[in-house]
Each structure stands twice: as C-alpha cells, then as structure tokens.
A and B are shown apart, each in its own frame.
Chain A
Amino acid sequence: MLRTLMRRKLRTLLTVLGITVGIWALMVMGAMANKLTALVDGGSSYFDNKIVVTDATNPAFGFGNVPMPVEVVERVGRIPDIAVAAARVSFLLDPDNTGSGFSAPDFVIGFRAGFDQGYETFRSELAQGRYTTLEDEGRRVVLLGADLARKFDAGPGDAFSIHGEEFEVIGVLEPLLMFFDTTAIIPWTAAQELLVQNEALEFEGGTDIPVLTSMVIAYPEPGADFRAIMRDIGEALPQTRTVTGEDFDDQFGSTIAIFNAIILSVALISIVVGGLSVINTMTMSVAERTREIGIKRAIGASRGLIMRELVLEAGLMGFIGGLVGLGLAALVVYSANDAGKTSGTVLFLLTPWIGTLGVAFSTLLGAVAGALPAWNAARLDPVEALRYG
C-alpha cells in the first residue's frame, strides 16, 4: 500500500502536505488555546474561594493597583460571614511592563505568611527551597514563580533585584499555570516598604503616608453566599470594588471562547481543505487504477476488499500528514517557548493529548474522505473496468 503511494510521489506529497499544514495550524493554535485555558482555569480556581477587595478605581483583575489605607482590612473582616480578611500588597515588578497579549505581567506580592489561617484551598508546590515564614518579616527574601525563576535564571541563594533593592531567593515554585508563575512573593514588611517608596515617589515626597495595602483577600465562611457578602462589602465600603472566581470566568472566559471559536474555524478549514485534497487524490488514483481494480474484481476480490484497500491508503495519507504536522507543530511550539523563555512568555502548551487527538483526527479525515472514491471504485463493473485504458 505504501508502494502505491510511493508510485505517485508528487501528488501524494502535495496531499500529505495539505493535511500537514492543516494539522500543523490546528496543533499550534490548540497548544496556544490549551495554555490560555490552563491560565484561566488556574486563575479561576484560585479566585474561587475568596473575594478580592481593591480600590474602586482599579479595573477588575487590573494591574495598576491603587493602594488603600490598611484599615480597610479590618472593616472587611467585620462584615458578617467573612472568616478571614488579610492585607496583600501587589505591584508590578517592572512598572513599564504591564504584560503583553495573553500573558500576565510580572508581579511582586507581599503578605504575612499564614495570613489565610488555613482557609486557602489553592495548593502550590515547591520546586526548590522553602516558603516564606513569619520569621522572614523584616528580611529581604523572595519566593519566585516558575516562569520568573526561569526568566531570570535564579534559584535559592541567588540575588534578585526588586525596584533596585536586593532580595535573596529562598525558593522556587513548581509551574501552576496561573499568575503565580510570573510572581515574586516577598514578606509583608518588605513589600510595605517598597509600596510606600513607590507611592512616596508619586506623591512628591509626602511624609505621613499611612500603612497601605493593595488589596484585601477575604475568605467567606464555607457555604456563605458570595454575592450577598460582596453586596455588603460594597455598601460598607463604597470606595471599593470586589471580585471573585465567577467574575474571573466572566472576564477571561469570553476571551477563551473567542479563541476556541478561532481554533474551531481552523479545524473546519483544515477538514475541508485536507478532506477535499484527499478526495481529489483518491479520485485520480482510482481513475488511474480502474483497470487494476477491474483485474482484482474479476479474479475474485470482493467489493469490501477493494474499498478497504483504498480507505486504508487514504487513511495512511492522513496519518502521515498528521504525524508530520505534529512534528512541525512541536518544533514551532518548542522553539517559540524557548525564545519566549527570556521574556517569561511561555505561549504554548502542547500536550500528548492534543498530539494524539490531532493525528487521530487527520487519519480519520483521510479515511472518511477516501471512502467516497473507494465506494465508487468498489462498485465498478469489472468488465467495464478491464476495458479501460
């Protein structure tokens, strides 16, 4: 069978190439969507069990966190059904880089270790080193997200510069596929100092700056009505904005939906283009082999057998196209991810699942597209077919 494909090298090559391009595009887009979905899922599951309170001038999940006086934390904590409310400082690692395209920008966040009092359900894991503890308060130490560590090639013991101040890396997190990957976590005190420094610069040397926080992380009691609590917070603190996991989905889910629609269109186009080119090739192949099919039928090949041969041949074209497409996609994804490493933008996530699905899809596509010409071939009158050519 491979032999019959080899016989018509150029045409087979072009057909396989058509499938290859389709599958390649599909996989690259799929890898991108996969990464995005993972990011959104990670973010969504992170925000699921908490309500984040920020200054009302902030965009939801926005990056330009305008600080609030730290008293807000206490006032949020007094709202009924709130179990724990804690302060968190958050600012951009590089104020000029607010993130590009689909990736979250690099962040610095600061909080007191153990602030969640056991309410946090989002689990992270250490790749190296250790987490920050309360003993670190007053020290300049930092725990790096996976992408950030990779970008700066930093590990435990290395120096890490934040806004001109030197910090010592004490640990690196495993990749979490959410914004923690591009986040540097420092103790509350150090974060507070840096925040005041930032604000002082902006307020032209103001001296009596209160203790500030960028946001309040509030954990409602289990089973509490999040929306009701958020309404209560809004009433008690009109100058704030509240968001939770659902809002995250609303905001980023639509981006993902658009992206998935694009992927679906690419898939459809590749079905049509790849399918038509397989149909075309197989139709020509059948026409060329009419006589051969007549011979085989005359000496006893069943219709099913003729059909099986041709469908398998078409499926093989799809399979090879898919495999080459996967190879090319892997090449693009890995080199793009490699190039993106320095900027911390890892755009693609090509899983074995996408690869297997893509190759299976293109094999099936080939076989299905080959079925019609094969069916026509199997129904030929052997006597007519023998007279041919």
Chain B
Amino acid sequence: MAFLEAHNLHKTYRLTRSNHVRAMRGVDVTVEAGEMVGIMGPSGCGKSTLMHILGLLHAPDLDAAPPPSLAIDGLDVTTLTDRKRTQMRAERMGFVFQAFNLVSTLTTVENVALPAEYAGRRRRDALAAALEALRLVGLEDWAEHRPMELSGGQQQRAAIARALVTQPDLLLADEPTGNLDSENTAEVMALLHWFNRERGQTIVLVTHDTRVSEACSRVLTMQDGVIINGRQTEVA
C-alpha cells in the first residue's frame, strides 16, 4: 500500500442554497513515501482544495458515489473527528503556504517551535528542535528576530523549518515560491529538493512555475477539478 492513497475525492462549496461550486470532481492520487510530487494546473482548477483535503484541513464530500477514501500510512482518515485531524496535522504533517504565514508577535525560533509544542513536546525541547531546524535552513543567526525583520526568502525558509521541525511524514506546500523572485525561488527549491533527497522527506507541492515542477519526481496536472495526466520524471 502506498504512503498516501486517495480515491474519488469530491469537494463542493455551497455558497447559497442553489449556488454550488464543484471544486473537485473525483480525484484519485497515490503518493509513495519519499516522493516529491508537483501539482500544476490553471487557476481555479482545485489545486488548493486538494491540498486542504490531503492536509486534513477539510473533509471530502462524503455523499459522493462511490464513497471517497483517504488513507495516510495505512490509516483511514476520511471521517476523523476535528480533534484527531488536528492531532495528525501537528504530529505527522508540515505546511508551507504561499504567504509565509509566520506569527508576527513571535520570534523566528518561537514560530518554528510551534508545531513541536502542538505535538506535545515540552517548550524547551521544542525550542531546541526549532534551533536545529533553523540551522538546516541556514537561519540560525536569525532565531531571535521577528518575522518582519526577515526578507521574503528568509521568511519562507523559516516556514520550511517550521513545517519540518516535527520531522513529519508529509510536507504539503501550496505555491511555496509564489511570492518569491527567481533567486529566492531557486534557493527554496534547492532546500526542498535537499530535504527530499537527503532526508527522504515526502513532499507534495502546488506550483505554476515549470522550473519548480522540474525539481519534482512526478507532476500531476489538474483541470476543472480532476487530474488529467501524471508525468513520471526519471529520478536522477
């Protein structure tokens, strides 16, 4: 069984009683442990929606036929309670967003330590793990600075450190380079690539940038809420 297996995922946003948006119309995905999967496709095709479901932030439509299924590491997570999904997010997942989404009142190292604290580590241990993660992304000198004092590229590297501080099974990144110039894009991608290759980190990322998708071991293309093809690249 693959690390992540999803079948027949649908997502309908109900705006009003009569106005529905069918953002996903039957998506099947499988991700093997250690893969780095890119998801591409035009704006509004449902990429973020898929990421929210894979990241257990939203549940797929349960009334789809045949019924949807989502399994992570052999565990059926289709109908978990909010509490259990939150716990899974804290312990087994890392998130990187397009807008770096660091908490402005906390220092960089406190930001990076958050998921470890949510996963139940003691504050001192969490901060130690955070410092180590910051070292891996080359920001150990910025630990005590506020996010505002960091450049965009640095903030995104801090966000990657935060996503990886708990050594999660799965890293989900929704357009992680969308707000970065080409130099910082290259740096962030090199970092993600390094984690994937050297640490075996499983990554699923959404991008519009073909240079980004080229770093992926496999690229899925979405259109109108379905995956239309999968390209297997040769892993060098």
Contacts and interface: CB of A to CB of B under 8 A. Distances in A.
Nearest to B92: A300
Contacts of A302: 83, 86-87, 90, 118
A381 B82 CA distance: 11
Contacts of A299: 89-90, 94-95, 114-115, 118, 162-163
A383 B58 CA distance: 8
B91 interface: yes
Contacts of A291: 101
A383 B93 CA distance: 16
Interface in A345-389: 381-383, 386
B103 A300 contact: no
B83 A300 contact: no
Nearest to B51: A383
Contacts of B118: 296, 299-302, 305
Contacts of A140: none
A298 B115 CA distance: 10
B29 interface: no
B52 interface: yes
Contact of A383 (B52, B101, B105, B115): B52
A2 to B, nearest CB: 11
Contacts of A4: 105
Contacts of A3: 105
Contact of A298 (B82, B95, B104, B105): B95
A300 B105 contact: no
Contacts, number: 57
A301 B83 CA distance: 10
Contacts of B93: 300
Contacts of B90: 299-302
A292 B55 CA distance: 18
A313 B143 CA distance: 25
Nearest to A305: B118
Contacts of B95: 298-299
Interface in A297-323: 297-303, 305
B114 A298 contact: no
A3 B103 CA distance: 12
A296 B103 contact: yes
A295 interface: yes
A386 B101 contact: yes
A11 to B, nearest CB: 15
Interface string B89-132: 11101110100011111000000001100110000000000000
A7 interface: yes
A328 B140 CA distance: 47
Which of A295, A296, A302, A382 is the most central at the interface, judged by chain B CB atoms within 10 Å of its CB? Answer: A295
B148 interface: no
Given A305-B118, A383-B52, A383-B58, A300 B89 contact: yes
Interface string B45-82: 00000001001011000000000000000000000001
B82 A303 contact: yes
A309 B162 CA distance: 20
Contacts of A7: 105
A301 B114 contact: yes
B232 to A, nearest CB: 30
Interface in B18-55: 52, 55
Given A4-B105, A383-B57, A383-B58, A300 B97 contact: no
A295 B103 contact: yes
Contacts of B58: 381, 383
Interface in A1-58: 3-4, 7
A301 B105 contact: no
A300 B101 contact: no
Given A3-B105, A386-B97, A386-B101, A300 B115 contact: yes
Nearest to B116: A300
Interface in A246-296: 291-292, 295-296
Given A292-B103, A299-B163, A302-B90, 9 more contacts: A291-B101, A295-B102, A298-B89, A300-B87, A300-B118, A301-B86, A302-B87, A303-B82, A382-B57
29 contacts: A7-B105, A291-B101, A292-B103, A292-B105, A295-B102, A296-B114, A296-B118, A298-B55, A298-B89, A298-B95, A299-B90, A299-B94, A299-B95, A299-B114, A299-B118, A300-B89, A300-B90, A300-B91, A300-B93, A300-B114, A300-B115, A300-B118, A302-B87, A303-B82, A381-B58, A383-B57, A383-B58, A386-B97, A386-B101
